[in-house]
Homo-oligomer: A and B are copies of this chain.
Amino acid sequence: MNSTNKQFIRQMGYDPDSKLFMIHADDAGLSHSENRATIKALQRGIVNSYSIMVPCPWFYEMAEFARKHPEYDCGIHLTLTCEWSAYKFGPVLGQSNVPSLTDDQGYFYKKRNEVVNNAKKEELKKELCAQIDRALSFGLRPTHLDSHMYSLGASPELLKLYREIGHLYKLPVMLNSKLITEVSGIHSSEWDHFDEISIDHMYLGELSDFKQGKLRDYYSNTLSTLKTGLNLLLIHPAHDDEEMKAITIDHPNFGSEWRQIDLEFFTSEQCEKILKDQGVQMITWKEIKDFMYPG
């Protein structure tokens, strides 16, 4: 746990030795299946934060929910990639306004590296701001920003832009040194010295766990061994239904079966019991936002 964070946590009124925890559902707005499952997981009371993909087909439905339910943490899942084969989306500004962000057909690139190699900075900024502005114009009151497939951690320039946009909109951004190193391929001591709150311990299931049928074990182990500081677990609840099967076709990594497990585990009594037994202290992005940008 880095010392800056420790200080912040104390200033926020928490014991710096407590295990603070968020369970965060990514990808709301992606599909109706994802929306239904995310809403279930939030209403069940275990998942306490989510983020919404503004360029996606089912954004409208999820935005309606977000507007009517400001009691849940809701971030903007800034989107620059579309990893799916048969289901496509692109920038809210359209291909003609931000051509460096799209493939020939006007859709987002599939991979982070294509963003790193092709996207022009001014177009990136224009599109990311347009996503947030669109959410605001729908009446959303976002509590944080994060980044789909963590594309905004994939180069030092993207990371700088991500944090800049956070400051601009007075919204905390999800930062984690390990994840930045993973997606950018760059080790840097800089990643441990942000001047804003970052996530001390980030958790995300791995494909090997899923393939071996050990995803539930990974989750229960994670919940049972949280560390001192700010812990965040990323999940993707959805139903393993026809819609989601078609979206995630040929993509077992975060595919529909995986997402169904996320839904089941994070609405289960088992999960609730572990959290209770471990004396985990849940925290929200709303609290972090109010601390970082009071008033």
Contact = CB atoms under 8 A, between A and B. Distances in A.
A60 B33 contact: no
A71 interface: no
Contact of A61 (B36, B138, B246): B246
Contacts of A97: 94, 96
A220 B66 CA distance: 45
A291 interface: no
Contacts of A64: 86
Interface in A229-268: 239, 241-243, 246-247
A105 interface: yes
A57 interface: yes
Contacts of A239: 242
Given A61-B87, A64-B86, A241-B241, A32 B94 contact: no
Contacts of A94: 93-94, 96-97
Task: Assign chain A's interface to a size class.
Answer: 20 to 34
Interface string A20-60: 00000000000111001000000000000000000001101
Given A32-B246, A242-B32, A242-B36, A87 B105 contact: no
A48 to B, nearest CB: 25
Number of copies: 2
B243 A57 contact: no
A141 interface: no
A86 B57 contact: no
Contact of A243 (B32, B60, B107, B138): B32
Contacts of A246: 32, 36, 61
A289 interface: no
B86 A60 contact: yes
A60 B36 CA distance: 23
A246 B57 CA distance: 13
Contacts of A87: 32, 57-58, 60-61
Given A57-B57, A96-B94, A33 B88 contact: no
Nearest to A138: B105
Interface of A: 31-33, 36, 57-58, 60-61, 64, 86-89, 93-94, 96-97, 105, 107, 137-138, 239, 241-243, 246-247
